[in-house]
Structure formats: C-alpha cells, structure tokens
C-alpha cells in the first residue's frame, strides 16, 4: 500500500483548468498527481500535466474494441501508478463498471449544478431553462450504480443567478468555485476527513 501523500490519478478531456487547480493547490503537498489520462489526443490538459512533469497517456476509444476495453486499459495504467484516488476533471466520457469496480469508493467528479438537480450534460443550460434562482457546483463520489452524477455529495457551493445571464457567463462565475472545491475535496480525502454515514450510505460526513 503506498504511503505518503495521497496518490491521485486524473482523467480529463478538455482544457484542464480543474487539473491546473489540483496542480496549483494540492500537487506536491497533501497529494501527488501521479498520472493524467485523456480520451482526446488534442486535450490541452495534456500540456498542463506535461508542464508540471506529470506522466500522461491518451486512450482514444477508436484504439480499443469497446468502452469497457478502453476503461480496463485506463484502470491498468492507473493501477501501475499506484493511484489511490481518481479525479474526473472535465472528463466527458462515461466510465463503465470495468473501471469503477477497480476503484470502488475512490472516484470523484466535479459537476456544474447543485446535484441531484440537473445531472448529465448541459447542466447549466438545464438549470437556466428551468428558471432556477440558485446554481452551483458539486463535488461528488462516482458510484457504479448505472446512474449519471448520482453518487453521494462531498461538497457544494451555490451562487445566485443573475437575470439575463447566459450559460457561458454563468460558467465563468462557476469556474472559480470548481477550482476551489475540487482541491478542497482532495485535501479532505487525503487527510482522512471524508467518510460515509453508517446510517445512510448516501450521506458523506466531513470531520474536522
């Protein structure tokens, strides 16, 4: 079993701003990012990782027989790096049981809504179309339960919706919250402050 700082593997598909937040705020301190995997060869997240001296690998779906085979390959790659926690930082592919079963209770995601409201894609657009007055960010566990964004909530923070704002404007205001909450969740997990309520598996307890 690895000792020392929490060993974190990151999956990212896009620009990697949440990965950068992890690099800036927990990498080399409470945690060590041991590898960044992506499903997109052109993902700028790869450049961010390489600039920080972090190993990277591309797992394009076209290079594998199916999603499960690709997920097994990613899981194998993370296991070889002794990853203890997997962080989805803007990873746009759904993970199958082939991956989640290998990291049970050790996969977290950041999502731009106040879950359980507005899971899945276009969460901000869903929320604005619904006419909500509050919107926010959730960091949650990813469960092998067949659902999307259904895992127990670790952290949440909300902001008020401003009349007339569009999805991009809202997302710009949510990004700093994502960049704060995701490293904080990793920090809490690294120090053993996150646990499940024995009386309610859906509830996450945070100890001081």
**Residue 111 among the catalytic residues:** yes
116 upstream amide cis, omega within 30 of 0: yes
CB within 8 A of 76, min separation 6: which ones? none
The residues facing 137 across adjacent strands are: 157
144 SS3 class: coil
Q: What is the DSSP string of 13-73?
A: -S--HHHHHHHHHTBTTTEEEEEEEES-TT-HHHHHHHHTT--EEE--GGGSSSHHHHHHH
The residue annotated as part of the active site, out of 27, 111, 140, 179, is 111
Going by the DSSP 8-state scheme, the letter that residue 174 receives in this structure is H
Residues assigned a catalytic role: 111
């Amino acid at each position: 079993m690895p000792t020392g700082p929490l060993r974190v593997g990151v999956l990212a598909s896009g620009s990697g701003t949440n990965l950068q937040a992890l690099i800036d705020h927990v990498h080399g301190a409470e945690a060590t990012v041991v590898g960044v995997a992506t499903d997109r060869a052109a993902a700028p997240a790869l450049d961010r990782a390489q600039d920080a001296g972090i190993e990277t690998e591309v797992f394009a779906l076209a290079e594998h027989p199916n999603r499960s085979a690709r997920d097994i390959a990613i899981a194998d790659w993370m296991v070889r790096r002794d990853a203890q926690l997997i962080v989805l930082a803007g990873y746009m592919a759904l993970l199958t049981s082939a991956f989640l079963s290998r990291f049970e209770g050790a996969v977290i995601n950041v999502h731009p809504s106040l879950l359980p409201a507005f899971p899945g894609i276009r969460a901000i657009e869903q929320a604005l179309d619904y006419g909500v007055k509050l919107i926010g960010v959730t960091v949650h566990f990813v469960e092998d339960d067949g659902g999307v964004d259904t895992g127990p909530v670790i952290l949440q923070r909300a902001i008020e919706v401003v009349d007339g704002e569009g999805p991009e404007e809202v997302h710009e205001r949510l990004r700093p919250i994502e960049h704060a909450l995701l490293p904080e969740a990793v920090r809490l997990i690294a120090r053993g402050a996150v646990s499940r309520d024995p009386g309610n598996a859906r509830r996450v307890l945070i100890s001081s």
